[in-house]
Chain A
Amino acid sequence: MRNRRYLYFFAMILVGAGLGLLYAWVINPVRYVNTPLSSLRPDYQTDWTLMVAEVYSQENNLPLASVRLAYMSDDPAGLVDESLLTARQLGYSQRDIDLLLELQGALQIYQPLPTGGAP
Chain B
Amino acid sequence: MTRQRGPWYLLTGLVIGIVLGLVYGWLIDPVDYVDTSPDSLHPDFKNQYRSLIALAHQSSGDNGRAAARLALLGDDDPAAALAGQAQQLLAAGGSQLEAQALANLAADLRGQPQVATPVATITLPPAGEGTQEPPVATLPPGGGVSTATRVATLTITPVATFTPRRLPATPTRGAPFAPEGELVTVCDPFQPPGLLQVMVLDTFGEPLPGIRVEVSWAGGQDHFFTGLYPEISLGYGDFEMQAGVAYTVRVGEGGEALNNIVAPQCSGDSGVYTGGLEVTFSQ
Contacts and interface: CB of A to CB of B under 8 A. Distances in A.
By DSSP majority rule, is chain A's interface helix, strand, loop, or mixed? Answer: helix
Given A13-B13, A54-B56, A19 B41 contact: no
Interface in B66-87: 69, 72
A32 B16 CA distance: 27
Contacts of B19: 16, 20
Contacts of B55: 51, 54-55
Contacts of A17: 17-18, 20-21, 24
Nearest to A23: B22
Contacts, number: 140
Size category of the binding interface on chain B: 35 or more
Given A20-B25, A40-B38, A52-B52, A9 B18 contact: no
Nearest to A57: B59
Interface in B1-36: 9-26, 30-31, 33-36
A23 to B, nearest CB: 7
Nearest to B13: A12
By DSSP majority rule, is chain B's interface helix, strand, loop, or mixed? Answer: helix
B37 A20 contact: no
A18 B24 CA distance: 11
B12 A9 contact: yes
Given A13-B14, A32-B33, A24 B60 contact: no
B143 to A, nearest CB: 45
Contacts of B59: 54-55, 57-59
A15 B52 CA distance: 49
A24 B26 contact: yes
A35 interface: yes
Interface in B50-68: 52-53, 55-56, 58-60
A19 B12 CA distance: 14
Given A17-B20, A58-B58, A10 B13 contact: yes
Given A9-B12, A12-B12, A36-B42, 12 more contacts: A12-B13, A13-B13, A16-B16, A16-B19, A17-B20, A17-B21, A20-B20, A24-B25, A29-B25, A33-B40, A35-B45, A44-B37
Q: Which 6 A-B pairs have the closest CB atoms?
A: A20-B21, A16-B17, A24-B25, A12-B13, A58-B59, A41-B35
18 contacts: A12-B11, A12-B12, A12-B14, A16-B14, A16-B18, A20-B18, A20-B21, A29-B30, A32-B33, A35-B36, A35-B42, A37-B48, A44-B72, A51-B52, A51-B56, A51-B69, A57-B59, A71-B48
